Amino acid sequence: MQLVYFRDLGHSRYQEAWDYQSALHRQLVDNKLKNRNLPPENFPQDHFFLLVEHPPVFTLGKSGALENLLLSEPELQQRGIEYFPINRGGDITFHGPGQIVGYPILDLERFFTDVHRYVRNIEEVIIRTLQEYGLDAGRIKDYTGVWLPEGPTLLSPAADVAANPAFWQKKRKICAIGVHLSRWVTLHGFAFNVNTALEYFDYIVPCGIVDPDKTVTSLQRELGYALDIYDVKTRLKRHFCAVFECRLQAG
Mean pLDDT, rounded, for 207-233 = 94
What is d(CA 107, CA 123) in angstroms, rounded to the nearest whole number?
18
Catalytic, out of 175, 207, 241, 246 = 207
Beta-strand ranges (E) seen in 82-170 are 82-85, 92-95, 99-105, 138-140, 143-148
The total of structural domains in the chain comes to 1
- Range of the structural domain that residue 180 is part of: 2-250
Mean pLDDT, rounded, for 151-175 = 94
Instruction: Using pLDDT thresholds of 50, 70 and 90, give the confidence band for residue 13.
Output: very high
pTM reported for the whole predicted model: 0.96
Specify the range with the lowest mean pLDDT, choosing from 38-42, 110-114, 237-241. Answer: 38-42
The domain spanning residue 123 has which CATH number?
A: 3.30.930.10
Instruction: Using pLDDT thresholds of 50, 70 and 90, give the confidence band for residue 211.
Output: confident
The residue type of 208 is G
Active site residue 207: yes
Averaged pLDDT score across all residues of the chain: 95
Using one digit for the tens of pLDDT, what is the confidence trace for 62-117? Answer: 888 899 999 999 999 999 999 999 988 888 999 999 999 999 999 999 999 999 99
